[in-house]
Amino acid sequence: MVASDRNPGHRISLQGAWEPSGAATHAWARSFGRPVDLPAGERVELVIVAPWLILESVTLNGQSVSWRRESADAAEMILARQDVTAELAARNELRLHADLGEVEAEATSRRRGPLPDTVARVWLEIHGAFPADHPGSQA
């Protein structure tokens, strides 16, 4: 991990405003806008902490996300991230699939609300450009 990964320039929570999973789809969906005025060279990473089965189901704008695993805890929650700068449109849809049993039944009683932490924790991180000699740079 590089210092900018531990201390992102800006973090945007995507924990709220999810459309809950339905009985037929088991898919949670959340729309969000592309961060405005993103300076050239800065990147946006999608970060999710969730079980691997949920991470495997995540789609952004209809495309599967390929994750970089960073860590896991005893509860098998994995912290994973992916640079999604090039995939972001003006409006975006993030979708994940989870069969949640009782939590799902509770959640479907409302139209939109927070994604339960037991399903996943989700956010965007905006990072500055890598120096030209950094291994993550495109130079």
Distance set, CA 125 to CA 42, 46, 101, 107, 122 (Å): 10, 7, 31, 27, 10
Share of the chain above pLDDT 90, in %: 50
As for how many domains the chain has, the answer is: 1
Q: What confidence tier does 26 reach under pLDDT thresholds 50, 70, 90? A: confident
pLDDT at residue 6 above 50?
A: no
Pairing, β 121-127 against β 43-50:
antiparallel
pLDDT at residue 45 above 60?
A: yes
Beta-carbon contacts of residue 98 (< 8 Å; ≥ 6 apart): 21, 26, 28, 54, 57, 104, 119, 120
> 133 lies in a domain?
no
pTM of the model: 0.79
> 51 lies in a domain?
yes
> 49 lies in a domain?
yes
> 137 lies in a domain?
no
Separation of alpha carbons 30 and 93, rounded Å: 6
pLDDT at residue 5 above 50?
A: no
With contact defined as beta carbons under 8 Å apart, do 59 and 94 qualify?
Answer: yes
**Structural domain boundaries, residue 82:** 3-127
Read off the pLDDT of each residue in 28-50 and give the average, rounded to a whole number: 92
> 100 lies in a domain?
yes
> 132 lies in a domain?
no
Smallest CA-to-CA distance from 104 within 25, 12, 17 is with 25
With contact defined as beta carbons under 8 Å apart, do 50 and 96 qualify?
Answer: yes
The 10s digit of each residue's pLDDT in 95-139 is: 998 865 545 545 555 578 899 888 899 999 999 876 555 455 444
CATH number, domain with residue 108: 2.60.120
> 136 lies in a domain?
no
> 44 lies in a domain?
yes
